[in-house]
Amino acid sequence: LVFNHQPLIPKLKEEPLIMNVQPMRKTISDPLEMDVQPVILTTSKTPEGDDIITVEPVKDN
């Protein structure tokens, strides 16, 4: 998965969150990957009813 700051519009409408969250959670919880920056996933809907997933880094300060 490539995370950026642009809204991600999943091609699959079925379980878009599960598709995106599980690999991220697995990576962050891996003790060998402590340099991975945690991110926040925010979901919203377009007026057309499409799911939008916005990814932003977690701020430390």
Residue 47 has pLDDT above 60, yes or no: yes
For residue 41, list its beta bridge partners.
55
Q: Render the burial of 37-56: b for 16+ CB within 10 Å, e for the rest.
A: eeeeeeeeeeeeeebebebe
pLDDT for 1 equals: 58
Residue 55 has pLDDT above 60, yes or no: yes
Half-sphere exposure of 46 (CA within 13 A, CB side): 11
Domain ranges of the chain: 1-61
pLDDT for 18 equals: 47
Distances in Å between the Cα of 9 and the Cα atoms of 23, 32, 43, 59 are 17, 30, 10, 24
- Residue range 2-45, pLDDT digits in tens: 555 555 555 555 544 544 444 555 555 555 555 566 778 888 88
What confidence tier does 59 reach under pLDDT thresholds 50, 70, 90? confident
